[in-house]
Chain A
Amino acid sequence: MRISGRSSESVEGIQPPPPTVSIRLPAALAERVGSATVASVEAKDVHGALAALGRAYPEVAQLLYTPEGTIRPFVNIFLGDRAVSGDAGATETVRHGDELRIVPSIAGG
């Protein structure tokens, strides 16, 4: 993008918007919280994306996180087709168009 007529001081002050990523929820969870199965959020990393989802749907936050703020052990978060877990996973940066997927354990048989 070419920006004309702006001083270098103004260009350095411009912050690009955070990337928009989609979060795919399992249908049962989406129905429970009244969400569509795909939500779009703006965030810089995995943690930020999930936090944004949690602000929009507090019950999702309650289901995803322990009171201590860690992802519950029966939930897996995938960035693309790769699992992101623990503190390292939470801080992993996301890019525009990335897809996060929440995969809880199910037991029906």
Chain B
Amino acid sequence: MSSTAADGLSADEVRRYGRHLSIPEVGLEGQRRLKSSAVLLVGAGGLGSPAALYLAAAGVGRLGIVDHDVVELSNLQRQILHDTESVGSSKLGSASQRLAAINPHVDVQTFETRLESSNALDILAGWDLIIDGSDNFPTRYLVNDACVMLGIPLAYGAILRFEGQASLFATPGGPCYRCLFREPPPPGLAPSCAEAGVLGVLPGIVGSIQATEAIKWLIGAGESLAGRLLLIDALRMEFRSLTISPDPECAVCGPRPSITELVDYEQFCAADTPGPERRGEETMTHSGIGVAELRRRLDEGEDFQLLDVREDYEWEICNLSAAGARLIPLSQLPDELDSLDRERALIIHCRTGPRGANAVAYLRAMGFDNAVNLEGGILAWAKAFDPDMATY
């Protein structure tokens, strides 16, 4: 065989992708399609890592990665693009190196920036498919809307603890993310992986599913997840496929879209919503104290109750027991009200603030008028006054 095979694959590539070439649904034609395809990954984290690795291994000709983060130690439990030596350095740096080592035939393009409304259309334009590996609602809505506006399919994946979701959005005639979730949950109602945790291997499953959907779409094989939402319960190892349809009133992809330009997604995701979560937001704004104020109260021997509403395992990692803190996990608070003194000042804290805000809103509704939230939570305290504290 010549150094460049007739079908545009080098001898090395033919050997490299031999197991693909043997599959009727892939073959030389499919492999050529992969080589001529371009996939952009938003995020080089838990989902982006396995997706990027498998897309590179599969021979997708051009991979783009958008990320602005540096590698942290806590990432390594699941973000398998990175390793211990790369802690502290750019995620894109370690990603590029790793992907090049796996497959030097892949052209890796990096975008070291935060994806925003001002740059999303420019960055996403020109790719054949987008992988959503983001970790927050504003970015998810931004990516979805941009994909709909650009007419680019979006391989969706999301994870929390042991549960995952996957789908393929924004395909011709198919639903988009907003068709399924018209609006995001208000702050405080949907914990992040940092707050609630995530099984490290779970994004490996979901990210691989996203890569699978991307490959199938690019080579035109099989039945995609367009019009379906795949639910993954890793604890029970159950997979459930649910039918989803385009929303005729979808603000972005519907026949009468009200959103025709990218919006301010941070504002959209923090929009006014009635209910206890809104009380939580107001509480955080008007009923919180900073760590400096807590420091002052401790130094001056003021009397107050310090309540930690995190979970037991979080307390085991780090706590403010030396400052007099006691632990009542948020879910147990209703059963422990009698153990709190309504007449004494009450300072609530969690890891970074949202759960504390919810606790304050609840306690105030139950007559604890003195309840205030420690803004920034125990992490803010550690950063300001106890850098040796184990954090997570």
Contact = CB atoms under 8 A, between A and B. Distances in A.
Contacts of B30: none
Given A83-B243, A103-B231, A109-B45, A62 B181 contact: no
B235 interface: yes
28 contacts: A27-B235, A28-B160, A28-B161, A28-B191, A32-B330, A66-B274, A67-B274, A67-B275, A74-B182, A74-B190, A78-B242, A82-B242, A83-B242, A101-B231, A103-B231, A105-B158, A105-B190, A106-B160, A107-B184, A108-B159, A108-B160, A108-B193, A109-B43, A109-B45, A109-B46, A109-B47, A109-B48, A109-B135
A18 interface: no
B137 A105 contact: yes
Contacts of B180: 76, 105
B38 to A, nearest CB: 21
Contact of A109 (B157, B182, B242): B157
B165 A27 contact: no
A36 interface: no
Contacts of A68: 274
Contact of B331 (A31, A66, A83): A31
Interface string A36-71: 000000000000000000000000001100111000
A61 to B, nearest CB: 11
Interface in B193-245: 193, 196, 198, 203, 229, 231, 233, 235, 240-245
A106 B163 contact: yes
Contacts of A63: 189
Contacts of B165: 103, 106
Given A81-B241, A83-B243, A101-B242, A108 B185 contact: no
B171 interface: no
A33 B198 CA distance: 19
Interface in B256-276: 273-276
How many chain A residues sit at the interface, stated as a range, is 20 to 34
Chain A to chain B: the 5 pairs with minimum beta-carbon distance, closest first: A109-B135, A108-B193, A73-B183, A73-B182, A105-B181
A108 B171 CA distance: 23
A107 B135 contact: yes
Nearest to A109: B135
Contacts of A66: 273-275
A58 B192 CA distance: 23
Nearest to A107: B137
B298 to A, nearest CB: 31
A47 to B, nearest CB: 19
Interface of B: 43, 45-48, 132-137, 140, 157-163, 165, 180-185, 189-193, 196, 198, 203, 229, 231, 233, 235, 240-245, 273-276, 330-331
B179 to A, nearest CB: 10
Contact of B46 (A105, A106, A108): A108
A34 interface: yes
Given A34-B331, A63-B189, A104-B190, A109 B158 contact: yes
A96 interface: no
Given A74-B181, A76-B180, A107 B242 contact: no
A95 interface: no
Given A27-B233, A62-B276, A109-B135, 20 more contacts: A27-B163, A28-B160, A28-B191, A28-B196, A67-B274, A73-B182, A74-B184, A74-B190, A78-B242, A83-B242, A103-B165, A104-B185, A105-B137, A105-B180, A106-B163, A106-B190, A107-B136, A107-B190, A108-B46, A109-B134
A107 B177 CA distance: 12
A33 B331 CA distance: 7
